Structure 1
Amino acid sequence: MFRIGIDVGGTNTDAVVLSDAQDVLAENAIVAWEKSPTTANVTEGIAKALGAVIEKSEISIKDIAYVSIGTTHFVNAVIEANPTKLAKVAVIRLAGPYTKRCPPFIDFPPSLRDTIEGHVAVIDGGLQIDGKEIVPIKDEHVFEQCRIIKEKGLSHVVLVGVFSPLAGPGEQEEYVRDLIEKYFEGSKMEVVCSKDVGHVGLLERENAAILNAAILSFARETIRSYAAVLKKLSLSCPLYLTQLDGTLVNSRAAASVPIRTFSNGPTNSMRGASYLAKLDGRTRGKSIIVVDVGGTTTDVGVLLPSGFPRKAAAFTEVGGVRTSFSMPDIYSIGLGGGSYVFFDANGSATVGPSSVGLEIITSAKVFGGQVLTATDLAVVAGLKDTESIGDKSLVLNNITSKEVTAGMDAIRRSLETAIDRMKTDSGDAIVLLVGGGSVIVPPTLEGVQEIVRPPYFNVANAVGAAIARVSGTVDRIEIPGNRSFDEIIEACKAEAIQNAVNAGANCENTSIAEVAVIQLPYVANHASRVIVKAVGDLDLGALKVDPSEEQNSDLESATITDVQAKNMVKPVAAPTQSKTNAVDINTYTPSVSSDGIWTLSETDIEWIAEGCAILGCGGGGATYSAFLMARQAIRAGHKIRVVDIEYLLQNSRDAWILPCGFMGSPSVSSERIPSGVEIPTAGRNLVKFLGIEKISALISDEIGGKNGLEPMLLATETDFNLPIVDADLMGRAYPRLDQILPCIAKEKGLFPVVAADGIGNCMVVPTAENNAIVEDILRAACTVLGSSVGLSISPLQAHELVEHSIPGSTSQAWRIGRAVALCRRESTLSSVSEAITRLQDGKLLFVGKVCLHEVRGGFTHGRITVAPLLQEEMEGSNKADDQQPNAISGRMIIPFQNENLQAEIEHEDGSRKVVCCVPDLITVIDAQNGSAIGTQDYRYGLRVIVIGLACDPRWASPAGLKLGGPVAFGLDTKYEPIGVYKQPKSVVAEFRAS
């Protein structure tokens, strides 16, 4: 039997025929291969490559076991926002009172939203973190939405239930799906359940399900065209598509969840490289760097010991939409075989990022053209496998030996930097080199132990498609109850293996490839996300012979000509930029009235969200959904106003200010997005309990993380219609509710305090023995109420804010966010630490890569170890040794308890030195984009910048250190201030109108 793999790239469509004989070595398994230009009509290019490779192989078509295709066809339709390929979608959320402030499509780019959005609704339903119903589903609500959907003429529906991954078979989304299908019986309706598409994280899962539903019709049409290609060539074998995780899915399943086939090209290349180098699944515990050099770009990724690529961050953007799919961790640079080569007056060379691309065979000098390319340099330098490329003499007379050396040095530097970025340690790496443009790579690279260019390196991507395995996955939240975690894991392993076998894997060689247990923070029932993945070879003996009878029963009617016109890429308008992207950061002025009221814009909210995340010190909860909701409120015409303490004192020193925020697990708030009634319910009940007639303003209990934004959502006229004070009670984020400035003073505290959820439950703690007990009481109540509640704590009067709050913290968040935005705009992210420490006294502590991530008790406790970057990796101000003494010779260890607690340097001799600790702020920033990284998002290989910032001096007092210093977290560390605290500069004072 033979396998055929096809990979559609931006430049070429590659096809290979592989023998399935078990005793054949990898290099001998390639029976034939073909590389042909990718056509505007992708199907036409596939037909050409497939026909050519079958003819070359001279095999009988009856001996072909299957054809597998890796394609960018579907993801391109999304990126183009092409209305001829994307359907209008109706979205029904099952959420009860929750999530309404953050509606579906809220973060879609305008052009894509206009193309896809058909109808949205939030109705009763959804689950709590413990699996109990938020509110029961009402059939009449479902049928009412069906009536509206019918009136609008929509045929694609997405169902999204809060915590639907917790639901059992036939529950929640599936129950509503059955109701919809019953209502539309006899009509063709496409109903997508989000639990079948994504995982925990409501917005990201919903977005993935929406994109999947929108592309469904086009995907089926496209897969029909692929089946038509096989039919035209008289092939009776099954058709498979490769998924982004490097596994196969049959054509029927791919037509149901096409989004899983997005961006599979890099995965195919890496899997093919592993197979050709005889490393597939046998890397002996060592990760391998794969470098795939094409005509225009070079992709660098990491192949894990399992033989599968290392994953990128938990969330990935597809066409500007954030989804829950974890794509391969790929770093791309503008270097390829067709890259232009330029020389300056000093003889230094620049190679790329512009490229001649497909025109290399007519444009490169070695082929008689007029453009000096990277391939020309490689031919003149006499690199391996370049002897048969073009005519060397056509280049020799137009370039000097010094220029060749300079050009090759430029290529070498680009590759060395890219490879080092993907390493997780500073040791020499093994590099697998593949791709048609890989002939330009020098034979040795700094930091590389060995370069392996396997046979058939130029079609490794098609080989990866051909050898793709079959997977089965279990990804859900488990609540242990009376079971041990070992029992849960073993049951999930068995289920994953069975899922793989059901998908077509051979049960004899299916094994577990990945196990991860992530305990959700601040959840008392020990709920944990369990991810188990099993993989195995496709069971060829069980394959169906005729695709028209089984796998492709609904795909066989089309012919190639039926779909060619529809598959052609049609020009569409480019996505509209957001208002914030269009702002001139250097000249932007916030709107502050003459009486000192700052009315926030979309730009202000975006910068404040960025700054709050950085001030969160790794905790406080992700700001993403809160930012989206605040932006949505502004777009709806609502006003969010900020005033400083001076404004309040001038009006009334005795005015009552209400502190508020959320308590609970960030994992819950990312799924059960607040309804908006939690804090108002708590606040109004507290005011009623105390007999206070009027509240004059709201204040955040902590500026760090999402709580720095949440009260702003409630300050509009639809809720409290009150301004927010430019201050908070922490100046950062802390894990415990009692770690606020009022609790340092004996006469002030948390109680009375009120907690409320979104469905009418509310409790008052009028008094308690001490503030610490209030934290414990509310933590227990929070668990009962779904592990997320809105809080209002003991109000303060305006004059008390001077002593018990951090003035200007909202302004500080705004300025930090603005500084990050400016660094991004000017491409100076290497100087982001300098920009932030100009705003608040502090130091750049370390620049490096996360090489170890350990957790205890879920994400709430653990530590990361950061290895230093090589000197040549450092850029800009990060090169300054005096800013991070001894960092180059050691590693940084950062323990955390939801927030980062301290940063210490571990030297090569084993000695350690603490360079920063609580209550000073320690923030870890992504060196690639300048955004803060939450402790829940720490992972191997992240390139990070670690910054320490000075805390308010009240935290450095004896009482402050007892409450929020090292001793409060069980650290045997003497606190040494990292700097002298600078009072944040008020935005109101600076920009107040005359």
Structure 2
Amino acid sequence: MARSVRNFRIGVDVGGTNTDGVILDPTRSSERDRGIVAWHKASTTGNPSDGINNAINTMFSNSKIDPKEVVSITIGTTHFINAVVERDSTRLAKVAVIRLCGPFSKGVPPCIDWPVELRDLILGYYCLVEGGLEVDGNLIAEINEDEIRDQADIIKAKGIKSIVVNGVFSPVDVFYNQEKSAAETIREVYPEADIVISKDVANLGFLERENAAILNASILPFARKTISSFQSAISRLQLHCPVFITQNDGTTLLASAASKLPIRTFSSGPTNSMRGAAFLTQNDIKEVMVVVDIGGTTTDVGLLLANGFPRQAAAFSEISGVRTNFSYPDVKSIGLGGGSIVRRQGDGSLTIGPDSVGYQLTREAIVFGGGVATATDYTVLGDQNSDIGDRSLVMRPELENNLDDFKTVVKKMLERAIDTMKTSADDIPVLLVGGGAIIAPDELSGASRVVKPEWSGVANAIGAATARVSGIIDTIESTESKTSSQIMKEISKRAIQKAVENGAKVETVQVVEMDHLPLQYIANKSRFIVKAVGDFDFAQEAGTEISSAKGKLERDEMTEFEKNSSATKEQEQEKRNLVKIDIQSYRPNIHAREWIISETDLAWITIGCYILGTGGGGSPYGHMLRLREIMRNGGVVRVISPDDLKDGDLVACGGGKGSPTVSMEKLAGDEMVQAQTELYNYMKIQPNAVIALEIGGGNGLQGMILGASTNMNIPTVDGDWMGRAYPVAWQTTPVVFEKKPVFLPSTICDGNGNVMFMTQAKSEVMVERAFRAALSQMGSHVGCAKGPVTGKNTKSWVVEHTISLSWRIGRAVALSRSLNQIDTVAESIISEVGGDKSAKVLFKGKIVGVERTLRVGHVYGEVIIQAMNVTGSEGPDGKGRYKIPFKNENILAIREEEDGTETANSIKILASVPDLICVIDAQNGEAIGTPEYRYGLLVIVLGIVASEKWTSTPRGLEIGGPTGFGMGDVEYKALGKFQKPRSVIDEYGA
């Protein structure tokens, strides 16, 4: 008897190798068979619509399902990201970019940090026009419609049909809607263009949002064609139901929306597998668990949270070398799969992968009559009941002798991958899915239990079929008149409403993620992020998303987009000409006691600056891009030793002042240089050199940016006034040695026509207070120029050779990566900063808690770290819990009692300011700043002894030690003995 209610859902995952399908009845999801009535796995076809058609037809035939009983079809696909990864010119369109930015961001043009061949392939034109907002919602400038029309005419004349409009702080623009207004003006001039406004694509983070919008715009024509192809398959099957595409976060988009925002589907494959795993274990496991998806070539390991969604990776992710601010699922991959090749090495060890026979398993593996020993062969050999292939073929001595070693290596590889993903030392459930799950053992260290559910081989298709609808709000709000709790409730309602608008059934919507991030140096402002999800409301009768006129495609229409890696001969030649730097033999360019900075030097210095930032100072990434662009346009960056200064020289100083959150959205214009120009025009003198205020974080590069700027053209001193980063400008060594104000006059400039001077003050503390008070009225980020210091005083007060130190630290990290020795990156850094008498590893572990609050413009908080072995190297796992209190920068490193209590006798202070407490990522050696602290990160915490400029006098400790952070009851005890950094100029300039 035919069913009277349409209940069936179809999920299809179109991968590069296989197309998997499943039909399930969600009303029976609690039953033993989870409501799965049919499933199918087949090879992916050149035209994806054929593969989808074949999979669904086969499932209909096997299950006798009436197509009229299907309520939805959800498709996951890797087609769009593959087009980017493969640099396919037939699937990527040229893009024009219009920035609404006023005077800002000119030093960092679009696609500045892209791989050259991808940038040449996609970026066709860009322009910077009036517009943009401040962080508080006030205008940087109004948009100029005539200017927009002129630019639209230029783009039209160039024949570029994909256009991105990106405005400064557009995600918080709810009043002016500048991006939308600009898009409407463009359409009047160029109606046939595809226009992508950045706030529809991603959230805060100007450059990263722009990158995502550009990729999205470039893939639009191919996305429409592909999704129409999907729709064509559905039409041929006589299905009349809504079609969805799965997103990166495990939720769905209607096909019509996905054709406009294809970038949101780029990483849906791993997410679908994890969501499928959650569905398969819904009645058995209601806690955090590790999902291990074993395919033919790789194993993907992710953490499935108790809310049924994958833990997300850091705020920034890379897509084929392009940095975006999409939050992808946090997945680690290892070269272990069913097709992995197994070898006995010359030293007697057994290796598995990373190379694989992949989709040729049924032809190449021994168990199928081939000649290559694979993980599947050994698995069949070890299972007398296996029905895979012909077991007799693998019953040979050379395999039988290796079987025990094979099992040991597989177990160790999986256990290490699982351990890196867990967020505590406690055992948790491990769920095995994927076609290669048969190679995994039934017991694993670190797993409370190992589960291999039925239908795990098509977990990705199950995840697609069961995906839900989401609504996300990411906004900056004032906390002046309401509590954070009240605001969070209001934003949660907005997120729920957005989910309903996206198609969710209102009574099923729940808030699954909430985050509150106070903004540094900005009074009464915080960033709130809320995500709500719910089931699709099928009562809306969404129907098919693409009209029959567009949806009916002839089968050969997809051939226009057959893969075509069309790198030009020039690009191929460029690849061949790229010479990998031999880090160990590299020598910096020293000429006449001047260090001429190269791009290699700059990359290493940038890494070192953020590590020396001790959690603060803001990421140097954007400043690095700007300085690199100056160098590529002919600017020369010169660094000199403080020893070579003349007593009568004047040394300038400057940098950015304000919130790192603002600087990542409102990219610098000319405010840094303008502040210097205004100051020295007022003083009617010219400096001979420039020095960074602080080496830690983004300001560590500002001295070099200022020195290389065309209107200054002076060398930068190899040193700074902090030797690290501190939250306020009076925490500097000149203030330690001179009680009266040192840096007067001082100037700040917002880059948008406003300049403020401080010519007299009783103290540097008063200068800081006055400038901080002005910050909120000047966009919460300004360029600052401090009055010059003589060469004689510079030599007495400077923390010496800190650019050299940054370079050495960055080189150590780069070398560890190139040698695949990240396990010992901490020890390499310690060696560069003076050895184990000057630095040490304080502890290693995983972040298990973060608390933040805003007080007087500074973000205070603490991060909790559970100790454990995070590198996989030999040695103890470590025990105990640690915490690091911070005020923008890390203040103390404390070991707690195991129960988390704190009494005068129960805590042990391992390190304190002014010594440097640096948190680095155990996976790559990069610094992790306090704004980036998040649950689950694997970290190494280093302690580095501070310069004697801070520790040799009571005043130095009063300003830069615990007392300077309001912790007068904490006694500073040095970690060791300070070792002055070695000068690169002295070492390599002979």
TM beyond 0.5: yes
Answer with 37-46 or 941-950: which moved more.
37-46
State the distance in 2 between where 1:875 and 1:507 align.
Answer: 46
Q: Give the CA deviation at 1:346.
A: 7.0
Q: Contact conserved, 2:71 with 2:538, CA < 8 A, in 1? A: yes
AA partner of residue 491 (structure 1): E
Q: Give the CA deviation at 1:749.
A: 2.8
Deviations 1:53-94 (A, max 9, x none): 222221111111121110000001111121111111110111
**What percentage of aligned pairs have identical amino acids?**
43
State the distance in 2 between where 1:340 and 1:23 align.
Answer: 38
State the distance in 2 between where 1:765 and 1:156 align.
Answer: 48
2:253 is aligned, of 249, 258, 264, to 249
Deviations 1:345-364 (A, max 9, x none): 67642222111111111222
Note if 1:105 corresponds to 2:135.
no
Note if 1:657 corresponds to 2:665.
no
Equivalent residue number for residue 710 of structure 2: 718
State the distance in 1 between where 2:81 and 2:860 align.
Answer: 38
Answer with 46-55 or 1-10: which moved more.
46-55
1:561 is aligned, of 556, 559, 568, to 556
Q: Structure 1 residues 925, 579: closer, same or farther in 2, change over 3 A?
A: farther
Q: Structure 1 residues 731, 579: closer, same or farther in 2, change over 3 A?
A: farther
Counterpart secondary structure, 2:629: helix
Note if 1:155 corresponds to 2:134.
no
Note if 1:617 corresponds to 2:614.
yes
Note if 1:466 corresponds to 2:465.
yes
Equivalent residue number for residue 4 of structure 2: none
State the distance in 2 between where 1:398 and 1:271 align.
Answer: 42
State the distance in 1 between where 2:311 and 2:550 align.
Answer: 34
Counterpart secondary structure, 2:379: helix
Counterpart secondary structure, 2:551: coil
Note if 1:824 corresponds to 2:817.
yes
Q: Structure 1 residues 24, 917: closer, same or farther in 2, change over 3 A?
A: closer
Deviations 1:368-404 (A, max 9, x none): 2222211122222228xx6221222221224465521
Q: Contact conserved, 1:11 with 1:295, CA < 8 A, in 2? A: no
Q: How does 1:525-536 map to 2 (within 5 A)?
A: 526-536=524-534
Q: Contact conserved, 1:579 with 1:603, CA < 8 A, in 2? A: no
Equivalent residue number for residue 496 of structure 1: 495
Equivalent residue number for residue 338 of structure 2: 337
Q: Give the CA deviation at 1:626.
A: 0.4
Equivalent residue number for residue 970 of structure 1: 966
Note if 1:705 corresponds to 2:711.
no
Note if 1:942 corresponds to 2:937.
yes
Note if 1:596 corresponds to 2:590.
no
Counterpart secondary structure, 1:273: helix
Q: Give the CA deviation at 1:794.
A: 2.5
Equivalent residue number for residue 514 of structure 1: 513
State the distance in 2 between where 1:579 and 1:951 align.
Answer: 43
State the distance in 2 between where 1:45 and 1:569 align.
Answer: 20
Q: Contact conserved, 2:652 with 2:788, CA < 8 A, in 1? A: yes
Q: Give the CA deviation at 1:796.
A: 0.3
Q: Contact conserved, 2:10 with 2:23, CA < 8 A, in 1? A: yes
2:957 is aligned, of 947, 957, 961, to 961
State the distance in 2 between where 1:922 and 1:679 align.
Answer: 29
1:666 is aligned, of 656, 660, 667, to 660
State the distance in 2 between where 1:930 and 1:756 align.
Answer: 35
Q: Contact conserved, 1:77 with 1:85, CA < 8 A, in 2? A: yes
Deviations 1:103-141 (A, max 9, x none): 111011111101111111111110001100012211221
Q: Contact conserved, 2:311 with 2:329, CA < 8 A, in 1? A: yes
Note if 1:14 corresponds to 2:20.
yes
AA partner of residue 83 (structure 2): A
Equivalent residue number for residue 522 of structure 2: 523
State the distance in 1 between where 2:160 and 2:312 align.
Answer: 36
2:806 is aligned, of 809, 813, 831, to 813
Deviations 1:567-602 (A, max 9, x none): 445565788669997222122221111x21221111
Q: Contact conserved, 1:163 with 1:671, CA < 8 A, in 2? A: yes
Equivalent residue number for residue 352 of structure 1: 353
Counterpart secondary structure, 2:707: coil
Q: TM-score, normalised on structure 2? A: 0.95
Note if 1:797 corresponds to 2:790.
yes
Q: How does 1:230-269 map to 2 (within 5 A)?
A: 230-269=234-273
Equivalent residue number for residue 884 of structure 1: none
Deviations 1:648-667 (A, max 9, x none): 22xxx211111111110000
1:605 is aligned, of 591, 602, 607, to 602
Counterpart secondary structure, 2:443: coil
Note if 1:455 corresponds to 2:450.
no
Deviations 1:256-275 (A, max 9, x none): 10000001011100100110
AA partner of residue 227 (structure 1): Q
State the distance in 1 between where 2:549 and 2:517 align.
Answer: 40
Q: Contact conserved, 1:659 with 1:698, CA < 8 A, in 2? A: yes
Q: Contact conserved, 1:898 with 1:935, CA < 8 A, in 2? A: yes
Equivalent residue number for residue 634 of structure 2: 637
State the distance in 2 between where 1:169 and 1:620 align.
Answer: 32
Q: Contact conserved, 1:212 with 1:258, CA < 8 A, in 2? A: yes
Q: How does 1:33-44 map to 2 (within 5 A)?
A: 33-44=39-50
Q: Contact conserved, 1:250 with 1:551, CA < 8 A, in 2? A: no
Counterpart secondary structure, 2:195: strand
2:882 is aligned, of 875, 887, 892, to 892
Answer with 461-470 or 893-902: which moved more.
893-902
State the distance in 1 between where 2:154 and 2:832 align.
Answer: 53
State the distance in 2 between where 1:724 and 1:880 align.
Answer: 43
State the distance in 2 between where 1:894 and 1:983 align.
Answer: 26
Equivalent residue number for residue 216 of structure 1: 220
Q: Give the CA deviation at 1:556.
A: 1.4
Counterpart secondary structure, 1:737: coil
Q: Structure 1 residues 763, 796: closer, same or farther in 2, change over 3 A?
A: same
Deviations 1:681-701 (A, max 9, x none): 22233234444x221111110
State the distance in 2 between where 1:294 and 1:764 align.
Answer: 63
State the distance in 2 between where 1:301 and 1:846 align.
Answer: 25
Q: Structure 1 residues 581, 905: closer, same or farther in 2, change over 3 A?
A: farther
AA partner of residue 228 (structure 2): R
Deviations 1:218-238 (A, max 9, x none): 100111111111122222222
AA partner of residue 836 (structure 1): I
Q: Structure 1 residues 857, 27: closer, same or farther in 2, change over 3 A?
A: farther
Q: Give the CA deviation at 1:734.
A: 0.3
Across the aligned residues of Structure 1 and Structure 2, the Cα RMSD in angstroms comes to: 2.0
Answer with 493-502 or 29-38: which moved more.
493-502
AA partner of residue 946 (structure 1): V
1:754 is aligned, of 733, 747, 750, to 747
Q: Contact conserved, 1:347 with 1:403, CA < 8 A, in 2? A: no
State the distance in 1 between where 2:513 and 2:875 align.
Answer: 40
Note if 1:142 corresponds to 2:137.
no
Q: Contact conserved, 1:199 with 1:205, CA < 8 A, in 2? A: yes
Deviations 1:855-913 (A, max 9, x none): 2228821111222224xx5445xx567xxxxx823222111111111112224376322
Q: Give the CA deviation at 1:152.
A: 1.0
Equivalent residue number for residue 759 of structure 2: 766
Q: Structure 1 residues 378, 732: closer, same or farther in 2, change over 3 A?
A: same
Equivalent residue number for residue 583 of structure 2: 585
Q: Contact conserved, 1:229 with 1:560, CA < 8 A, in 2? A: no
AA partner of residue 297 (structure 2): T
Number of aligned positions between the proteins: 967
Answer with 750-759 or 79-88: which moved more.
750-759
State the distance in 1 between where 2:278 and 2:23 align.
Answer: 17
Equivalent residue number for residue 986 of structure 2: 989
Deviations 1:718-759 (A, max 9, x none): 231111111111110000110000111224534321111101
State the distance in 1 between where 2:285 and 2:726 align.
Answer: 42
AA partner of residue 636 (structure 2): K
